[in-house]
Amino acid sequence: MQLRHTFSILPLVRKNRMNTNGELPIYIRITVDGKRQEFFIKQWVEAKSWDSRKGKVRGNKEHARVTNLHLDHIRTRLNAIYNQFIQENKLVTASSIKEHYIGNRSNQRSLFEAFAYHNEQMKAQVGEGYAKATYTKFLTTLKLTKEFVEYQYKKSDLYLSELRYQFITDFEFYLKTVRKCAHNTTMKYLTNFRKIINLAVTNEWLEQDPFTKFRGSKQEVKRDFLTEEELEQITQKAFVAERLNLVKDTFLFCCYTGLAYVDVAKLSPQNVSTGIDGEQWLFIDRQKTGNSSHVPLLPPALAIIDKYQDHPEAVNKGILLPVISNQKLNAYLKEIADICGINKHLTFHVARHTFATTVTLTNGIPIESVSSMLGHKSIKTTQIYAKVVKKKISEDMKVLRTKYLKKEAINSSKTIG
């Protein structure tokens, strides 16, 4: 017969041990059969933020969430040790439970502690090496990982040492089936997650990388772009609704500059300056990568700038073009495609693809120059467009080859006749 004991776990702070920053140390008190043991969890909290009744930090700020998560994990682990001792008929005392916990787990990091460490460092570098959008993506990856751990393991956290290859494959399966993420979206989240694991391995918080045997790859995505004919169709079309003319001009401007929405939306007249050739250029730092992008302005782009230089909204806001929200812009682009009879899923990013293919590479601009103007970190990214151009050339040549074969067949039949 297993002997049961009275057992409790209480997080508390020591008011008489406040540090110079006005913070109190957090302790865990273990009580077994009325006898107590305490240990410091190496976490501090402001006195006003501590909820002594609930034994947790108040609020939803990052420090509160991470600390409370750590406290939950400690409670879970201490309860597991207690139940293990009972099942194995070991001596159950507050001291023995504390020693077992301290000896086996005190130097280990949890998965979400590693996430918090990474995200806090990234947050501090937003605008100085990282774009805000990149930080947001890691917050989303953290949210999805927490959901998965809760769904798969019924826990609020895991020790890094508990991660195995199966965790990765199960996470991939969860993202694709439960969260209905597309393959490439799933791979992006796993790539972000892998960065956390690499950090843990580098810092020696994790001995074995669970990604070692994982072979994830992205599927090639069809990148829509406008042909010269389609570009001309939109250029020549005059719309009755002024909102459509504004969207058309913004879209065409990016077809001739290669800018993404987030970059064109923040353009100011100061971004336009004289280049080394004495012509007008755009000089910007790309929001996504932070890379500098210098783009000589082609006549169609200059004409659009001139058209809106006295626009009230542009003047009042100190911006180059009066750009509307990305959501509305994409909705109106669909309308423009329908009116112009263009049977393609027209989004704002199609403009960037059009610049890379139809406007530059197809016209013989070297891939190195195109990569620089697009602000790509690596020329490998630009090579995707080069493949698209080659495929288009191949398709055009097939049509031409067929014409010649038909012509030869006709001439041959005439000769025979």
pLDDT in tens, 252-293: 999 999 898 888 988 999 999 998 889 999 988 776 665 678
Confidence of residue 416 (pLDDT cuts 50, 70, 90): low
> In the structure, what pLDDT confidence band is assigned to residue 383 with cuts at 50, 70 and 90?
confident
What tens digit of pLDDT does each residue of 35-58 get?
Answer: 999 988 888 899 999 999 999 999
Sequence-separated (6 or more) residues with CB below 8 Å from residue 78: 9, 28, 30, 97, 101
Q: Mean pLDDT, to the nearest integer, of 87-108?
A: 78
Distance, CA of 248 to CA of 269 (rounded, Å): 20
Q: Is the pLDDT of residue 130 over 70?
A: yes
pLDDT at 136 over 80: yes
Q: Please say if the pLDDT value at position 135 is more than 80.
A: yes
Residue 253 amino acid letter: F
Residue 105 confidence class, pLDDT cut points 50, 70, 90: low
Q: Is 189 or 77 the better-scoring residue by pLDDT? A: 189
Average pLDDT along the chain: 86
- Examine the pLDDT at 357 and tell me if it is beyond 70: yes
Supply the pLDDT for residue 92.
87
Q: Poorest-confidence range of 25-29, 114-118, 317-321, 383-387?
A: 383-387
Residue 179 CB contacts under 8 Å (≥ 6 apart), including other chains: 144, 147
